[in-house]
Amino acid sequence: MAQTIERIKAQAAWDRIEALGGHGVWESDIVVVSLANTEVLDDDLALFRDFPYVQILDLSQTKITELGLAHLVDLPVLEEIILIGTQISLQALGEFARAHAGVKVRTKPPQSTINPFGL
């Protein structure tokens, strides 16, 4: 029964992600969530209490601040967070990175990209 309640909460959180304009992949082996370029606010990130499975999270070009980061401290499998163009202070970014040494914190776009279809 506990798994059922957990699954119901997770689905409600996923539905909230989509209602906020986000999208992603929720599979058994990978969970990626993008809320980039949405109107997501700091308190909206509380939904991750019921959806802690995210491995890669993109919050680029949002109004998220360090207050929003507080909702992300207990994501046990988070591997990468993308925070390009947010309102999070450099100090808060540094504190988050130090507290989550295993999480890649990206604040700048990649310098170059490789197009596998190019010649």
> Per residue in 53-69, pLDDT tens?
999 999 999 999 999 99
pLDDT recorded at residue 98: 93
Tell me, what DSSP letter sits at residue 68?
H
Exposure string of 31-69, with b = 16+ CB inside 10 Å and e = fewer, is bbbbbbebebebebbebbeebbbbbbbbbbebebebebb
pLDDT recorded at residue 1: 58
pLDDT recorded at residue 12: 96
Please give the Cα distance from 79 to 19 (Å, whole number). Answer: 24
pLDDT recorded at residue 115: 61
pLDDT recorded at residue 61: 97
Q: Cβ–Cβ contacts within 10 Å for residue 11, how many?
A: 13
- Cα-based angle 69, 75, 79 (whole degrees, multiple of 5): 95
Spans of the chain below 50 pLDDT: none
Maximal CA-CA distance, the chain: 54
Domains and CATH numbers, the chain: 2-106 (3.80.10.10)
- Reported pTM: 0.89
pLDDT recorded at residue 109: 86
Strands 23-26 and 31-34: antiparallel
